Structure 1
Amino acid sequence: MPHLRDPLAGLDDVPWESLHHAYGPAVDVPDQLRALRSGEASVRRRALSELSGNVYHQGTRWGASCHAVPFLVALADDPGTPDRAAVAGLLRAVVLGDRRGDALPFDPRPTFAAAEGITDEQVALVERHLEAEDLFEHEEAADLADGVAARWEADAYRAGARHTDRYVRWLTDPDPHVGAYAAEILAWFAPDDTAVTGLVAVPEHPTATRASANLTLGHWPVDSGRIDARLRELLAANAAVVRVTAAVGLAYRLGDRLPDLALDVLTDARVTDVDADVPGWDRSVRGFVALALHRLGLG
């Protein structure tokens, strides 16, 4: 059943003209968000590219970025949106930037420490000098630039953190790319019982969602018999990518307490052609196998 609520409701209530992105005032963001609903694929592709360049420019977030997050979430959540997986991918980029799985488990406090104490007035000062292209000619603004950039990143991350309930819901999405992105995004936020339950319950198919869920559960430092039991169960899954990511997850969680069957799955994967890319994750399954074996002292 289609959602009754317009995913772009409230879009014109945001003061985009007073917010900035990579190229100045964010007055073009509303139309780019609207174009993601276009019936023409070329229009959607152009809007996605332009929006990405504006609010996620070479990994940098801006003042407008956090304000785009709830609309990206709502668009990805609405079954009437075309290319929902692409929208989920952009959402992931805006909320998390270029962070790699090596940074998991993620603690936002030290990461965003430089953002503490940055005021709206300081942000506005930096934005003025960025727009005038004279930032490094103004000592105060130049000194504040890193802290302001950290605040933009923190604001985008916190905007994404408000929607973890949606990401859990996407775990059951019929589009495996949407489900896989949702599972990976959840890896970057503090696990709660709802998220753990949702990730454990993901069925073996679609395999992309299940594989992504396995990797997230493996990265979460949660002492949970439910997680370990589910990953052990999946060592017997029909799909190789599910078996292997379950073994990776167990290796991350259990270390030298890894069951023999999981070790067998990992060592077999190292010498066979089992490989895949899991949407949202920065390395292939074979790369995760290598990391898991290295952690076990077998790499």
Structure 2
Amino acid sequence: MLDLDDPRWAELEHAYGPAGDLPALLRRVQVELSREMDAGEDELEGALASAWFELASAICPMGEATPASYAAIPHLVALAAAHDVEIRAQVLLLVARVEAGRHRPDAPAVPDDLEPAYRASLSRVPHLVAARAGDDWDPTTAQALAGTLLVAKGHPRLGMAVIELAEEVECPNCETAFPLPGWDLAAGEDGF
């Protein structure tokens, strides 16, 4: 894992140019997340949401991976491992978006010096999902973790399809919204 104090960060690129600012942003997310956890919050809100948006925009703009993305992934996986299912799902969702972005034809390769830590971190993702299998998952968490698991297991197209799956689709001719198969099913309080 690339240490947050390593000058190598400044040699990497993210969406806005040199990634020398990324370690501070990763630290800011960690600090804000700790504050929100201490306050009993379990969602990305307020200052944390702002830091998270800034981080996600820098390392995975429009679903594209950047060289700095690959250096950030081990830090994000470690962050995910330390938190409950809702936060874990959100953090791993960003990991999945980076990994899926790596499969785009124009994506930069993972730099040789970052690849071992990147691969090792990615291999932890299925275990992190499985470790929270006994928790209650709301539909958003379930969708994020299911898609993330597929991406981490080497199925980026299918995983991203699950992540981006909407409840309904609009007919391009008449503009009527139709529920996709499955979304029209009734669910009881127990989920069945």
Aligned length: 152
Which one of the candidate residues 185, 188, 210 is aligned to 2:151?
Answer: 188
The 3-state SS of whatever aligns with 2:180 is helix
Cα deviation, residue 74, structure 1 = 0.9
In the alignment, what sits opposite 2:130? Answer: 171
In the alignment, what sits opposite 1:79? Answer: 83
Partner amino acid for 2:80? A
In the alignment, what sits opposite 2:23? Answer: 30
Cα deviation, residue 64, structure 1 = 0.5
- Map residues 116-195 of structure 1 onto 2, 5 A cutoff: 146=106, 149-151=107-109, 159=118, 162-173=121-132, 174=135, 176=137, 180-190=143-153
The 3-state SS of whatever aligns with 2:109 is helix
Is the contact made by 2:92 and 2:125 (CA closer than 8 Å) also made in structure 1?
A: no
Cα deviation, residue 57, structure 1 = 1.3
Highest RCO, 1 vs 2 (Cα 8 Å, sep ≥ 6):
2
2:2 is the counterpart of 1:43: no
Q: 1:58 to 1:189 in 2, by over 3 A?
A: closer
Cα deviation, residue 29, structure 1 = 1.0
Partner amino acid for 2:26? L
Is the contact made by 2:12 and 2:67 (CA closer than 8 Å) also made in structure 1?
A: yes
In the alignment, what sits opposite 1:19? Answer: 12
- Map residues 64-75 of structure 1 onto 2, 5 A cutoff: 64-75=68-79
The 3-state SS of whatever aligns with 2:83 is coil
Partner amino acid for 2:126? Y
Partner amino acid for 1:167? P
Is the contact made by 1:181 and 1:280 (CA closer than 8 Å) also made in structure 2?
A: yes
In the alignment, what sits opposite 1:117? Answer: none
Cα distance in 2 between the residues matched to 1:66 and 1:9: 10
Cα distance in 2 between the residues matched to 1:289 and 1:12: 48
Structure 2: where are the runs of 5+ without partners?
Answer: 37-44, 169-178, 184-192
Is the contact made by 2:99 and 2:152 (CA closer than 8 Å) also made in structure 1?
A: no
Cα distance in 1 between the residues matched to 2:120 and 2:165: 20
In the alignment, what sits opposite 2:100? Answer: 96
Is the contact made by 2:125 and 2:149 (CA closer than 8 Å) also made in structure 1?
A: no
In the alignment, what sits opposite 2:176? Answer: none
Higher helix share: 1
Cα distance in 1 between the residues matched to 2:181 and 2:131: 24
